[in-house]
C-alpha cells in the first residue's frame, strides 16, 4: 500500500519551544531495536520490487517479440511497459479493498460476462453486418463487465462471510484489522497510554482530513483549543515512536461528504477497519452501520474499581452537593461520590460507607453515608491510646517505671515548704 506522510508545515504550525514533528515510520524504525527472533517473510519492499521488476521485463519482452497490432518492436516494448504499470496501479488499488468487496466485484464481473455472452448469441442470429455485430459484441462485453464489477464491489459490503462457516476463519484470525483514529481521541491523549500498554497493536491509520482538522485546532485563536491541538500532535509523535505499532497516513478523502465523522465511517468501510474514538454520537452511528468501534471512554469505565454496597472507602470531600447535607468527592479515575451527611466535612478526608452504585451513560456514580459519630469515636479511641502511651507507668507501673520517663514528669507549681 502506498503511504504518504504529512508535510513539515503541519508540525511547524504548532509553535512550541520544541515543535512536534511527525516523522515517517522509516526514520523512526532506524532508531528501534530489531528483535533477533523476528521472522523474515515475503512482502517487504524489496520482495515486491523484485517481483514487479520481473513482471515488467516479461511484459516488455512479450511486446518486443510479438509486436502486436502491427507495431514496431520498440513501440510494442513501450506498450508492454505501460501495460505493466497499469497492472501495478490496479494491484495497489485492489490491496486497499476489503475481502467482501473483492468477492462482490468478482461475482459481478462473472455475471456481466455471462450476460454479454448470452446477448452475443442473440446478436449472432440477426442480419446485422459482420463488422457492426462484432463491434456490438465487444461493446456489450466491456459494458456488462464494467457494470458488474462496479455494482458488485459497491454491494459487496452486504455479503455475510460468516454464513460460509469456517471457510475464511484462518484468514480472519491471522489478519489484524486496521484501526482508524478520530480527532477527539487524539486530542484526548489517553489512547497513547493504551497503545503503550499493548492493548492496541498492528496498523494504525491516520487520515489526512483528521490531520487537517487537528491542524485547525492547533492554529485556533483560542488558547485552550490551541493547547489541545498541540497536545494532539505530541500524542501522534509519541505513538509513532512505539516499536509494536505501524502508523500510516492515508490521503484518501471523500470530497462529497462534508462531515468528518461520515468520512471516517466511509474510510472504515473501505479499509474494513475499526474506529478508535471517544465520541458518543460517532460510536452510535458507526455501530448502526455495522462498523466495529473501540471507545476509550468505555474502556476507562470498564477499568474502574468495582465497589459494592456496604464497603468502606476513604474520600476527600471537595464541595457540597445539591441536596441538603450532601458532600461531593471524586476518586482518582474521576468517579463522582455523593456523600450523605458530608457537608460538614468539606475539605476533609473521611471514611464513608457505600450505600449504592449507579451506572449511567456518563459513567458510574457512587452514593455513600458519612457517620460523624463513628468517626469521632474512632478519633477519641486513637487519641486516648496515644495519651496512655505518653503517661509513665501506664504499662510498667509507677514504681517500676522508666527512669527517663520519671525525670521528664512536669514539676509541681506549688512551692516546697522545706526549701529555705
End-to-end CA distance of the chain: 107
The grid cell for 368 is 455513600
- Identify the top-confidence range among 101-115, 242-256, 402-416: 101-115
pLDDT at site 154: 81
Element (H, E) at 278: none
Report the CATH architecture of 312-374: Beta Barrel (2.40)
CA–CA separation, 260 vs 282, rounded Å? 10
**176: pLDDT confidence band, cut at 50, 70 and 90?**
low
266 contacts: CB under 8 Å, gap ≥ 6: 254, 257
How far apart CA 412 and CA 414 sit, in angstroms, is 5
The predicted pLDDT at position 43 comes to 55
Structure-block grid coordinates of residue 333: 479515575
**Residue ranges of domains in the chain:** 8-30+175-301, 45-158, 312-374
Q: What are phi and psi of 29, to 5 degrees?
A: -65, -25
**How does DSSP assign 148-178, residue by residue?**
HHHHHHHGGGG--GGGGTTTTHHHHHHSPPP
**Residue 298: what pLDDT?**
84
| Burial group, residue 405, by CB count within 10 angstroms (0-12, 13-18, 19+) | middle
How would residue 144 be classed by pLDDT, with cut points 50, 70 and 90? very high
Residue with cell 468517579: 335
Q: What is the pLDDT of residues 64-81, one digit of tens each?
A: 888 888 888 889 889 999
| Order of strands across the sheet that contains 274-277 | 245-250, 202-207, 179-181, 274-277, 293-295
pLDDT of residue 263 exceeding 50, the answer is yes
- Pick one of 3.40.50.1010, 1.10.760.10, 3.20.20.10, 3.20.20.80 as the CATH number of 8-30+175-301: 3.40.50.1010
Q: Which region, left, alpha or beta, applies to residue 202 given φ > 0 means left and ψ of -120 to 50 means alpha?
A: left
- SS3 assignment, position 264: helix
CA distance 201 to 245: 5
How far is C-alpha 28 from the chain's CA centre?
20
Which of the two residues, 169 and 95, has the higher pLDDT score? 95
Q: How many CA atoms does the CB half-sphere of 302 hold within 13 Å? A: 6
Find the mean pLDDT for residues 228-257: 88
Query: 128 or 415, which is more confident?
Result: 128
Beta strand 202-207 pairing with 179-181: parallel
Taking residues 127-151, report their average pLDDT: 90
Amino acid at each position: 500500500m502506498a503511504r504518504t506522510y504529512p508535510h513539515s508545515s503541519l508540525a511547524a504550525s504548532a509553535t512550541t519551544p520544541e515543535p512536534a514533528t511527525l516523522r515517517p515510520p522509516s526514520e523512526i524504525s532506524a532508531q528501534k531495536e530489531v528483535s533477533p527472533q523476528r521472522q523474515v517473510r515475503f512482502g517487504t519492499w524489496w520482495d515486491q520490487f523484485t517481483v514487479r521488476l520481473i513482471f515488467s521485463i516479461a511484459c516488455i519482452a512479450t511486446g518486443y517479440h510479438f509486436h502486436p497490432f502491427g507495431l514496431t518492436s520498440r513501440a510494442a516494448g513501450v506498450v508492454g511497459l505501460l501495460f505493466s504499470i497499469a497492472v501495478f496501479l490496479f494491484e495497489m488499488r485492489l490491496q486497499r479493498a476489503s475481502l467482501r468487496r473483492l468477492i462482490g466485484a468478482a461475482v459481478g464481473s462473472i455475471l456481466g460476462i455471462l450476460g454479454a455472452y448470452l446477448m452475443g448469441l442473440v446478436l449472432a442470429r440477426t442480419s446485422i453486418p459482420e463488422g457492426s455485430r462484432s463491434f456490438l459484441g465487444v461493446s456489450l462485453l466491456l459494458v456488462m463487465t464494467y457494470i458488474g464489477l462496479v455494482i458488485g464491489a459497491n454491494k459487496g459490503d452486504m455479503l455475510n462471510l460468516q454464513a460460509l462457516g469456517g471457510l475464511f476463519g484462518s484468514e480472519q484470525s491471522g489478519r489484524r484489522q486496521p484501526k482508524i483514529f478520530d480527532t477527539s481521541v487524539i486530542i484526548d491523549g489517553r489512547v497513547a497510554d493504551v497503545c503503550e500498554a499493548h492493548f492496541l497493536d498492528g496498523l494504525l491509520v491516520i487520515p489526512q482530513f483528521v490531520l487537517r482538522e487537528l491542524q485547525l485546532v492547533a492554529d485556533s485563536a483560542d488558547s485552550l483549543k490551541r493547547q489541545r491541538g498541540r497536545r494532539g500532535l505530541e500524542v501522534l509523535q509519541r505513538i509513532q515512536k512505539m516499536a509494536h505499532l505501524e502508523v500510516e497516513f492515508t490521503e484518501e478523502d471523500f470530497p462529497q461528504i462534508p462531515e468528518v465523522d461520515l468520512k471516517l465511517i466511509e474510510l472504515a468501510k473501505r479499509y474494513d477497519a475499526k474506529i478508535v474514538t471517544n465520541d458518543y454520537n460517532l460510536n452510535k452511528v458507526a455501530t448502526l452501520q455495522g462498523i466495529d468501534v473501540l471507545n476509550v471512554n468505555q474502556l476507562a469505565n470498564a477499568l474502574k474499581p468495582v465497589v459494592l454496597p456496604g464497603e468502606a472507602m476513604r474520600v476527600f470531600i471537595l464541595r457540597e452537593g445539591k441536596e441538603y447535607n450532601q458532600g461531593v468527592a471524586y476518586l482518582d479515575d474521576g468517579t463522582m461520590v455523593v456523600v450523605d451527611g458530608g457537608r460538614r466535612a468539606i475539605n476533609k478526608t473521611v471514611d464513608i460507607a457505600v450505600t449504592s452504585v449507579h451506572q449511567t451513560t456518563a459513567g458510574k456514580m457512587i452514593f455513600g453515608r458519612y457517620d460523624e459519630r463513628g468517626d469521632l469515636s474512632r478519633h477519641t479511641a486513637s487519641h486516648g491510646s496515644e495519651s496512655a502511651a505518653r503517661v509513665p507507668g501506664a504499662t510498667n507501673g509507677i514504681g517500676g517505671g522508666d527512669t527517663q520517663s520519671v525525670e521528664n514528669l512536669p514539676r509541681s507549681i506549688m512551692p516546697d515548704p522545706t526549701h529555705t
